[in-house]
Structure 1
Amino acid sequence: MSTPATRETAVRLAVAIFCLTGIFAALNSALTLSHASNAIDLGSWPRLLLVPSALAAGILFDKLDTRRVGMIMTAVAMFSACALFILIGNVGIRASATVFYLGSGVFVVFFTTTYMKLSAHMRMHELWPSMGRVLINIGSMLVSAPAIALVNDGDPLGMIIATVVLLAGVAASLLSSSGTEQIGCENPHENPRADINTENMSQQDDARSSEAASTPPAALSLEEPLERFCRAYSLTPREGDVVRALLTMDDSVSDIASALFLSRSTLYRLIASINKKTGTASRTALITFFWTWYNAS
């Protein structure tokens, strides 16, 4: 079942992919027109660049957290926008084509992997892995015709303005999460691991907490008591998502971080902040504290 955090992530991804599609569709349209006007014969060699860029992106994205992947895609969008600006000036056509195909390989891996991960946390999860391709097709249909019209009309200023707007949309949707994830962390330099158990003990903690805490009926909805708990201890919405995950998931810290689309370090910081606000010292103590508070309220 989806949570407010996953629904917010789905919206941000949709905006990012739509804006990225607009940039790449505009660059592709400009390259196509240059090729059609015999300004340059690109041939098929640039397509070979899709292979190494996609392979490199797959390896890199597997090792990085969501925030750094967002930073990489924002950089890719910026380079693609610069390539479009260069192409509008009728210079550097080969360089623009190189940037386009390298960026396209990275883009394909990005929307495929992100929506596959997201699908596990959404309703009707079987529809979500292909959602990136659906958005790309819709975006291409909406952007290609206006982009071709701007190029044919010799309106570079209009093309530049539109590209800057799309680039701002990419940056806002992919980089805004880093600030949201760290809300409530009063001291970013403190060591959060000192206040919580290590990941290797997390599963044992879950088992002990289920015995120590008095758990209400399974049919109980957590939303209303969790909302009151967050108000009582001044928890942020993102901290509330973390508490919900800790109460309902028996997974490791790494799995919970993945489910919330957070890096492990960000999740540790959020848990440390929650522990500080509630006066608890570990994940087990926090879970026990919540159910004790619930039974007393």
Structure 2
Amino acid sequence: MKNKKIYVTAILTLFNFVFLGTEYLFDNMMMNLVDSDGVVLVQNYILGASVLGFVLFPFINRYLKGYLEYVAGIVASIIAAVSVAVISGHSSYEIMIIIGCIFFVLLGITGSAAIYYSSVILRGSSQISSYVGIAYAAGVFLQFINNNIIKKEIAQKAVIIVFAVSLIWLIIYRKKFAEEKDNVDKYDSADGYLIKNKMLTGMLLVIMVALMSCIFVSLDNAVTLVHAQGSVDIGQLPRILLALSGLCAGFLFDIHNGRYMSMIMYCITLISTLCIVIINFGGIFIAGLVIFYISAGFFAVFFTASFMSLSYKMKNPEFWAGLGRAVNNLCAVITSAVSVKLLTSGSNMVITVVSVILFVLISIVIFIYLNQYYPQKQVESDEQTDEIQEEIISPEKKFELFCECYSLTEREKEVLNALLSSDKDVQDIAESLFISRAALYRHISSINQKTNTNKRVGLIQYYYAWNPIENG
């Protein structure tokens, strides 16, 4: 278990470092080609490209198997090395945008993979936010070291390339960790809460993160504009605040199994709204910068951990796990032009009104979102006898109800039971059931069709996420 946690921390840290480091490098190189407004806009182009990568990952994860993974790993490694080299050369505006977008599509794919496989390993854990916060802080801190301690630019670029390639191959190496099932919780998650309507809750979380992203994108653009003008280098010491805020957010969000996570983020959003007003009404920029980095760290941990936790309750966890960053980056693209126009127009009152409206909408969505959750103890206190309650939480009873719900045959029951109780490979399981490997695959495929799941891992995840109370 310790090795698996180290693996999770490693791949999330590498992703955060490579993503933030390359974004920072791209901005700095673009400053040689365009003005401050142009830097903000092209930054959001590459963020938009990363969204495509996040969306592509579920399909790639489904079809890219066997030796194709290794071929893809080699190709991805070459793309990473060439992209960083080209970006560092800042030869032309068009080439920079094309290469930047290609590389960030790749980062979107690897980032979604890193988040999803981390969620697979951590399912059932009550410390998801802590791991996300530690990895985020470590990634930002590594970026600070790379930009400030390492003096030679060529060495800085080499570090990004090495870490990007390491991330790619660690993801390919995931099977040793991500397919183990000994940490699976028998409820939807370890938070002790159930959901009234899963899809509605997912959409509310998407809307909430999207609205919050509008606030934080505006903050990011305000800071980027000042940075691009050359008056403040945001890669220097103040950036340590970003690492510390992410670290603190992780531990604070996990208090009482995440019970106060949304409310803490709500308070941070309020502070961020005030920060926009401070910056645009001529307040001390460094004060706004401090608030920005504190808020940004909390928000990054919030949208990552929230969607990781939600993914356990959904039928397509590989899609939902990384959706938080995809939504955030997509909103950066959509709101970028409007945000920059407002920030450079000098219309402080309009900016204030828009910020307040966004905050009110966030308040409404959070209220509805939180009402979708109810304590598991509430179910147990309903009009049920102790005997029925025992049956609900009994693994044997759950298995029986699951098989009955999806009309599994006797042989399919045997296959499912073997998959749930064994860590052996397919060949060993087939031999233990006295059937051929091909026959085992047919039974698994049949169960997949009945349960609307994909592959062995998807079936196992769905089984442990399946709740007799909600599906009875």
Pair in the same fold by TM > 0.5: yes
Picking from 305, 309, 313, the partner of 1:113 is 305
**In the TM superposition, what is the alpha-carbon distance from 1:37 to its structure 2 partner?**
4.4
Question: 1:40, 1:93 within 8 Å by CA — same for their partners in 2?
Answer: no
**Superposition TM-score, scaled by structure 1 size:** 0.61
Q: Using a 3 Å threshold, how does the CA distance of structure 1 residues 144 and 248 change in structure 2: closer, same or farther? A: closer
Question: 2:205, 2:369 within 8 Å by CA — same for their partners in 1?
Answer: no
Question: 1:6, 1:121 within 8 Å by CA — same for their partners in 2?
Answer: yes
Cα distance in 2 for partners of 1:109, 1:10 equals 17
**In the TM superposition, what is the alpha-carbon distance from 1:203 to its structure 2 partner?**
4.7
* 1:50 matches 2:272: no
Q: How does 1:94-243 map to 2 (within 5 A)?
A: 94-179=286-371, 203=390, 206-207=393-394, 218-219=404-405
**Superposition TM-score, scaled by structure 2 size:** 0.40
Cα distance in 1 for partners of 2:385, 2:284 equals 55
Percentage identity across paired residues of the two chains: 25
Question: 2:280, 2:348 within 8 Å by CA — same for their partners in 1?
Answer: yes
Cα distance in 2 for partners of 1:168, 1:4 equals 24
* 1:247 matches 2:469: yes
| CA-to-aligned-CA distance 1:64-107 (integer Å, 9 cap, x gap) | 45552111111111100101101011112111111111111111
Question: 1:49, 1:98 within 8 Å by CA — same for their partners in 2?
Answer: yes
**In the TM superposition, what is the alpha-carbon distance from 1:7 to its structure 2 partner?**
1.0
* 1:10 matches 2:202: yes
Question: 1:15, 1:169 within 8 Å by CA — same for their partners in 2?
Answer: no
**In the TM superposition, what is the alpha-carbon distance from 1:205 to its structure 2 partner?**
6.7
| CA-to-aligned-CA distance 1:245-292 (integer Å, 9 cap, x gap) | 55368xxxxxxxxxxxxxxxxxxxxxxxxxxxxxxxxxxxxxxxxx9x
Q: What residue number does 1:83 align with?
A: 275
**In the TM superposition, what is the alpha-carbon distance from 1:207 to its structure 2 partner?**
4.5
Give unpaired runs (5+ residues) of structure 1. Answer: 183-191, 222-243, 250-290, 292-297
Q: What residue number does 1:92 align with?
A: 284
Q: Using a 3 Å threshold, how does the CA distance of structure 1 residues 209 and 119 change in structure 2: closer, same or farther? A: closer
Residue 215 of structure 2 aligns with an amino acid whose one-letter code is I
Cα distance in 2 for partners of 1:115, 1:6 equals 12
Cα distance in 2 for partners of 1:56, 1:208 equals 37
Question: 1:67, 1:177 within 8 Å by CA — same for their partners in 2?
Answer: no
Aligned-partner SS, 1:218: helix
Residue 91 of structure 1 aligns with an amino acid whose one-letter code is G
Q: Using a 3 Å threshold, how does the CA distance of structure 1 residues 141 and 202 change in structure 2: closer, same or farther? A: same
Cα distance in 2 for partners of 1:36, 1:248 equals 52
Question: 1:70, 1:175 within 8 Å by CA — same for their partners in 2?
Answer: no
Residue 53 of structure 1 aligns with an amino acid whose one-letter code is S
Residue 218 of structure 1 aligns with an amino acid whose one-letter code is E
Question: 1:50, 1:105 within 8 Å by CA — same for their partners in 2?
Answer: yes
**In the TM superposition, what is the alpha-carbon distance from 1:63 to its structure 2 partner?**
1.9
Cα distance in 1 for partners of 2:253, 2:246 equals 10
Give unpaired runs (5+ residues) of structure 2. Answer: 1-187, 189-193, 375-379, 408-465
Which range is displaced more, 33-42 or 61-70? 33-42
**In the TM superposition, what is the alpha-carbon distance from 1:180 to its structure 2 partner?**
5.7
Cα distance in 1 for partners of 2:242, 2:323 equals 21
Residue 33 of structure 1 aligns with an amino acid whose one-letter code is L
Residue 143 of structure 1 aligns with an amino acid whose one-letter code is T
Question: 1:115, 1:131 within 8 Å by CA — same for their partners in 2?
Answer: yes
Cα distance in 2 for partners of 1:43, 1:209 equals 55
More RCO (CA 8 Å, sep 6+): 1
Cα distance in 1 for partners of 2:235, 2:405 equals 62
Residue 69 of structure 1 aligns with an amino acid whose one-letter code is M
Q: What residue number does 2:97 align with?
A: none
| CA-to-aligned-CA distance 1:141-173 (integer Å, 9 cap, x gap) | 111211111122211122112211221222122
Cα distance in 2 for partners of 1:146, 1:10 equals 27
Aligned-partner SS, 2:404: coil
Q: What residue number does 2:425 align with?
A: none
Question: 2:195, 2:373 within 8 Å by CA — same for their partners in 1?
Answer: no
Aligned residues: 216
* 1:23 matches 2:215: yes
